[in-house]
Amino acid sequence: MPLKMLLRIVGLSALLHAYIGFRLLPDLPVGPVGVAAAIAALALSCLVMPAPLLARSVAPKPWSDLLAWIGYLAMGLFSSLFVLTLLRDILLLGAVVVGFLARDALPIDGFREASAIAVPGLALVLTLMGVFNARRLARVVRVDIPIVGLPAALSGFVIVQISDIHVGSTIKRGYLNAIVGAVNALKPDLVAVTGDLVDGSVERLGPHVAPLASLSARHGVYFVTGNHEYYSGADAWVAELRRLGLNVLLNQNAVLEHDGVRLLVGGVTDYSAHHFDPAQRSDPHAALSGAPADVAVRVLLAHQPRSAPAAEEAGFDVQLSGHTHGGQFLPWNFFVRFQQPFTAGLNRLKKLWVYTSRGTGYWGPPVRFGAPSEITRLRLVAA
């Protein structure tokens, strides 16, 4: 990472940590020693938060992974601490305004002290709960997708979707093994892996992704790239996943014969792929090219939900996406909608059904709160 960028990140982090200290410490009943300890803790948090960005360049394994863990945990705790401090200030400001308008001072001194104590305690509790939620095996979410005119042979066709696992510094082979076991237990007709599988090179993470070779489905396993594959060497990962037996769809499709009826599964490169390789611009129309006229259902795998308008225009019936993580933890789920048309769950865009997974792993801080990870069992049913 360029030194100038690193200094900007550290500088911004220092300002935000200073804000927390400035707003909480004067109201904490801890004395000079307690204040000094709190300042030291905030300074340490500020210094370790960039660790995941530097870990691989400053330390060998396993120390680099340990540094990343420490930095990501600090990010998670800081996020909760910052948001709660901001909410406390909003409440304090509201109390002052109400007191001014009512021409009577509200008794907020007691609230100042109690809330200053509560903020770090609640931030720690939320972080610990978030870590537990992120590190446990993703729950199975069962969703029925109603299709008008669905042939009887495809009624009950099961697609299991996993997405946004982010194998990397904190997610390794064991975590992925558990996911593979849970997917296989659902006995899917098809498995869809909708991008952001990795955060790192094939050389570093190849052994940890190897469990994907054990995924089993009647009609196979299909993969599309997410933006993080392009950060991590997309061409090398496409070759590696094909070697493991996955069907990688790069603006392509496959036509499946299921009990005498045809279903098409198409896949597009990530919505942002052209920024990394102009030849890989995402194209739902190309992903439908050559489709036979008698295909009963057309399913598109597209990492980002914002591929949906083009997918609907191309003529797909269903789009399976991820990318958003459902916001991963509060309050960031409220901001996802400013970039993506859908945050999570099953939504309708004209004739197109769009299912957006909250993700099966996590990115960055190993924290999930208010947006649980999922392994999604999607079943086609007659409308």
* pLDDT attached to residue 60: 73
Q: In residues, how long is the chain?
A: 383
Q: Which is nearest to 283 in space by CA: 313, 323, 256?
A: 313
Return the beta strands (E) in 259-316 as ranges.
261-267, 297-301
Indicate the DSSP class of residue 335.
Answer: T
* pLDDT attached to residue 103: 61
Architecture of domain 140-382: 4-Layer Sandwich (3.60)
Pairing assessment for the beta strands 261-267 and 297-301 based on DSSP bridges: parallel
If phi > 0 it is left, if psi is from -120 to 50 it is alpha, else beta; for residue 205 that is alpha
Average of per-residue pLDDT across 233-260: 97
Average of per-residue pLDDT across 123-150: 96
Between CA 362 and CA 339 the distance in angstroms is: 18
- Mean pLDDT (the chain) is 93
Q: Is the pLDDT of residue 99 over 90?
A: no
Q: How does residue 94 score in pLDDT terms, banded at 50, 70 and 90? A: confident
Q: How far is CA 184 from the centre of its chain?
A: 22
Q: Percent of the chain having pLDDT more than 90? A: 83
Between CA 51 and CA 359 the distance in angstroms is: 24
Instruction: For 279-330, write each residue's pLDDT tens digit.
Output: 999 999 999 999 999 999 999 999 999 999 999 999 999 999 999 999 998 7
* pLDDT attached to residue 59: 66
Where are the domain boundaries for CATH 3.60.21.10 in the chain? 140-382
Sign of the C-alpha dihedral, residues 85, 86, 91, 94?
positive
Place of tokens 């990394």: 276
Average of per-residue pLDDT across 153-182: 97
Backbone angles phi, psi at 363, to 5 degrees: -120, 140
Is-contact 380 154, C-beta < 8 A?
A: yes
Average of per-residue pLDDT across 336-356: 94
Q: Which is nearest to 182 in space by CA: 380, 373, 382, 381?
A: 373
Average of per-residue pLDDT across 29-48: 93
Joined tokens for residue 377: 């069992």
Q: State the pTM of this model.
A: 0.92
Instruction: For 201-217, write each residue's pLDDT tens digit.
Output: 999 999 999 999 999 99
Residue 60, SS3 per DSSP:
coil
Average of per-residue pLDDT across 24-30: 93
* pLDDT attached to residue 203: 95
Q: Is the pLDDT of residue 10 over 90?
A: no
Backbone angles phi, psi at 366, to 5 degrees: -75, 65
Q: How does residue 106 score in pLDDT terms, banded at 50, 70 and 90? A: low
Q: How does residue 5 score in pLDDT terms, banded at 50, 70 and 90? A: confident
Return the H-helix or E-strand segment holding 241: helix 234-243
* pLDDT attached to residue 105: 60
* pLDDT attached to residue 331: 75
Average of per-residue pLDDT across 114-120: 94
Q: Is the pLDDT of residue 222 over 60?
A: yes
Between 97 and 214, whose confidence is greater? 214
Q: Is the pLDDT of residue 3 over 90?
A: no
Instruction: Encode 242-275 in three state secondary structure.
Output: HHCCCEECCCEEEEEEECCEEEEEEECCCCCHHH
Edge-to-edge order in the sheet of strand 252-258: 252-258, 261-267, 297-301, 318-321, 352-356, 345-349
258 burial via Cβ count (<10 Å: 0-12, 13-18, 19+):
middle
Q: How far is CA 107 from the centre of its chain?
A: 43
Could you count the other beta carbons within 10 Å of the beta carbon of residue 173? Answer: 14
Average of per-residue pLDDT across 79-91: 94
Average of per-residue pLDDT across 135-150: 97
* pLDDT attached to residue 1: 56
